[in-house]
Amino acid sequence: DAMVIQNPRYQVTQFGKPVTLSCSQTLNHNVMYWYQQKSSQAPKLLFHYYDKDFNNEADTPDNFQSRRPNTSFCFLDIRSPGLGDAAMYLCATSKTLDWGTDTQYFGPGTRLTVL
């Protein structure tokens, strides 16, 4: 089935040790997003790609970077994870940039633990 896949589902890293989370999609959607969701809070958009065009949210820390080598894959790189970066990271896709009206399809998320 067409879907959004995130690997790994659970990631443990050490304070300050770089970590990369992976997302792939078989929907052939133009837009891919990364959200951060902390416990009992709303998902917060970090950035999105429309094709190869990268759009960073104004309040996304520099510690977070992203790469999209092709349509299917998108990576979230956390250069120096802090304890406050422990969260669920959700990847999503949509066909167009009309996010409000165009459905976003979410992956199952990667839960990041920082020791």
Partner 1 sequence: DQQVKQNSPSLSVQEGRISILNCDYTNSMFDYFLWYKKYPAEGPTFLISISSIKDKNEDGRFTVFLNKSAKHLSLHIVPSQPGDSAVYFCAASARLSGSARQLTFGSGTQLTVLP
Residues near partner 1 (CB under 8 A): 4, 6, 9, 40-45, 55, 90-92, 96-101, 103-109
Smallest distance, partner 1 to C-beta of residue 54, A:
13
Select 14 or 41, whichever has its Cβ closest to partner 1: 41
Distance of CA 52 to the CA centre of its chain: 15
* Number of DSSP helices (H) and strands (E) in the chain, helices first: 0, 11
What does the chain come to in residues? 115
β-pairing verdict for 19-25 and 73-78? antiparallel
β-pairing verdict for 105-106 and 31-37? unpaired
Select 3 or 17, whichever has its Cβ closest to partner 1: 3
Smallest distance, partner 1 to C-beta of residue 64, A:
18
Select 73 or 106, whichever has its Cβ closest to partner 1: 106
